[in-house]
């Protein structure tokens, strides 16, 4: 947990510094420090802020790319390379700062191309991954609750499933009504279309999730999943219309708060905090990353079929592990017994020097390399969000309002539509290709 928080804080700090690079003060400082080295122009306007943002995020992206390569194939903390993930923070911070310095020595032309093409592709991939994880989370949440209800017949889980479903639908309906009242006035055709299409998609996935054909091929599909997708996509749409520019007088939030520095600073920090949390959550989401976590998987090997050990272990330790795995599969012991045994082995081997329980001695909780690849993609999204189609009017003195562009609004609107599409396909796929699904 401390490791994940540390990487999230690193992303947060890098994002805030990148945002500050767009201010006039930072531009003048950069121009002075680099002795006018950054002199390239974009359409007659200085690109200091643009390239500075991409330099900062390129440096952090390169940092995560290097760690992804170093940690490739690490499956447990027994691998000595695992220390690079959870330790060596002093050298890692120095390496990050060193990469920032090196990035400022690269010619501006490279970052013009990087920002307009490569970073944009990375940002799209990051958004797509987030949508896939959201759909996967919706299915997992509903199926987990259903499994608890079937196993325990608990009224608590029934109430939780029903109340969460109803609550998410009510939240989605409330946000839709608020958007129609405040953001869909006359002349706001973009907002009217986005809100209406989102409402129609919400109704469509609700009807699709309870369709008899869908239920026949996937009985666990239902309203709980569609409610989560609907409330998230409605939130994306509301965020889009709430962050668009107010040149057509369709965003009363801008007029209500004006362009005060406090509101811009608060909005930027909230955006970056959300980014850091979302990235860390996505990067450690084991199922989506093909990770088995630190649990026993009965289908992982044929050695334990029918609870029998069919291969001769190479040592007493392996023999004990094999016996425990067989007991776990048969239900005689909980899966946590594997961790307990592993800890006791470590204590006997290391002379009891370990001060705490290591829950990754058996297997890592998440894929380290993919963890850093997702952080790499998130840096591309931060850089693109800060630099894509920024309007000089959306500033208050030195500060730039993060995400207050039509481009950012349309990205959120289209992301919601794509999310509806991914979820709909997750429902239709078992009925379209029944041979590939076993329910």
Residue 401 has pLDDT above 60, yes or no: no
- Which of 109-113, 226-230, 339-343 is predicted with the least confidence, judged by mean pLDDT? 339-343
Pairwise CA distance, residues 341 & 338, whole Å: 5
**Distances in whole angstroms, Cα of residue 200 to Cα of each of 29, 174, 362, 364, 410:** 50, 15, 48, 42, 18
DSSP state of 226: H
Between 144 and 291, residue with greater pLDDT = 144
Contact 365, 286 (CB under 8 A): yes
DSSP state of 116: I
Residue 227 has pLDDT above 60, yes or no: yes
DSSP 8-41: HHHHHHHHHHHHHTTSHHHHHHHHHHTTT----E
Pairwise CA distance, residues 98 & 395, whole Å: 31
Residue 374's closest CA among 272, 280, 290?
280
- Which of 47-51, 274-278, 295-299 is predicted with the least confidence, judged by mean pLDDT? 295-299
Contact 63, 99 (CB under 8 A): yes
pTM listed for this prediction: 0.69
Contact 26, 52 (CB under 8 A): yes
DSSP 172-184: HHHHHHHHHHHH-
H-assigned helices in 184-222: 189-209, 212-217
Pairwise CA distance, residues 209 & 262, whole Å: 43
Q: Phi first, then psi: give them for residue 395, nearest 5 degrees.
A: -130, 160
Neighbours of 408 (CB within 10 A): 24
Pairwise CA distance, residues 235 & 195, whole Å: 11
Residues 231-254 pLDDT 10s: 989 988 988 887 777 667 776 766
Q: How deeply is 262 buried, as exposed, middle or buried, from its count of CB atoms within 10 A (0-12, 13-18, 19+)?
A: exposed
Residues 2-24 pLDDT 10s: 888 888 888 888 888 888 877 76
- By three-state DSSP, how is residue 421 classified? helix
- How does strand 395-396 pair with strand 399-400? antiparallel
Pairwise CA distance, residues 379 & 275, whole Å: 10
DSSP state of 240: H
Residues 22-35 pLDDT 10s: 776 666 666 666 65
Residues 278-291 pLDDT 10s: 676 666 664 444 44
Residues 292-311 pLDDT 10s: 444 333 333 444 344 444 44
- By three-state DSSP, how is residue 107 classified? coil
**Distances in whole angstroms, Cα of residue 214 to Cα of each of 39, 228, 424, 436:** 59, 18, 10, 15
- By three-state DSSP, how is residue 399 classified? strand
Residue 183 has pLDDT above 70, yes or no: yes
Confidence of residue 275 (pLDDT cuts 50, 70, 90): low
């Amino acid at each position: 947990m401390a490791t994940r928080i540390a990487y999230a804080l690193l992303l947060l700090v890098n994002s805030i510094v990148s945002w500050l690079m767009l201010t006039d003060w930072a531009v003048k400082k950069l121009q002075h420090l680099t002795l006018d080295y950054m002199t390239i122009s974009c359409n007659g306007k200085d690109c200091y802020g643009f390239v500075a943002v991409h330099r900062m995020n390129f440096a952090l992206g390169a940092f995560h790319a290097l760690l992804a390569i170093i940690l490739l194939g690490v499956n447990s903390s027994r691998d000595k390379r695992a220390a690079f993930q959870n330790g060596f923070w002093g050298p890692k911070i120095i390496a990050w700062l060193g990469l920032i310095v090196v990035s400022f020595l690269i010619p501006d032309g490279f970052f013009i191309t990087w920002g307009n093409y490569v970073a944009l592709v990375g940002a799209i991939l990051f958004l797509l991954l987030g949508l896939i994880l959201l759909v996967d989370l919706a299915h997992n949440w509903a199926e987990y609750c259903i499994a608890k209800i079937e196993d325990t017949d608990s009224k608590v889980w029934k109430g939780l499933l029903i109340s969460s479903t109803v609550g998410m639908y009510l939240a989605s309906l409330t946000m839709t009504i608020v958007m129609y009242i405040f953001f869909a006035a006359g002349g706001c055709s973009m907002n009217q279309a986005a809100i209406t299409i989102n409402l129609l998609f919400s109704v469509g996935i609700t009807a699709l999730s309870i369709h008899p054909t869908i239920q026949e091929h996937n009985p666990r599909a239902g309203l709980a999943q569609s409610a989560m997708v609907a409330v998230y996509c409605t939130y994306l749409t509301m965020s889009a219309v709430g962050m668009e520019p107010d040149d057509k007088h369709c965003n009363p939030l801008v007029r209500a708060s004006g362009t005060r520095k406090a509101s811009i600073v608060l909005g930027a920090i909230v955006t970056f905090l959300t980014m850091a949390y979302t990235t860390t959550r996505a990067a450690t989401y084991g199922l989506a990353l093909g990770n088995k976590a630190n649990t026993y998987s009965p289908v992982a090997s044929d050695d334990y079929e029918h609870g029998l050990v069919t291969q001769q272990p190479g040592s007493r330790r392996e023999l004990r592990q094999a016996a425990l795995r067989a007991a776990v599969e048969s239900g005689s012991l909980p899966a946590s017994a594997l961790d307990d045994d592993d800890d006791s082995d470590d204590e006997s081997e290391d002379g009891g020097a370990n001060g705490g329980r290591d829950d990754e001695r058996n297997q890592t909780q998440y894929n380290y390399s993919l963890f850093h690849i997702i952080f790499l993609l998130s840096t591309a999204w931060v850089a693109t969000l800060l630099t894509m189609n920024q309007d000089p009017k959306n500033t208050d003195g030195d500060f730039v309002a993060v995400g207050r562009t039509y481009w950012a609004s349309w990205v959120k609107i289209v992301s919601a539509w794509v999310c509806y599409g991914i979820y709909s396909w997750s429902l239709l796929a078992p009925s379209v290709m029944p041979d590939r699904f076993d329910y």
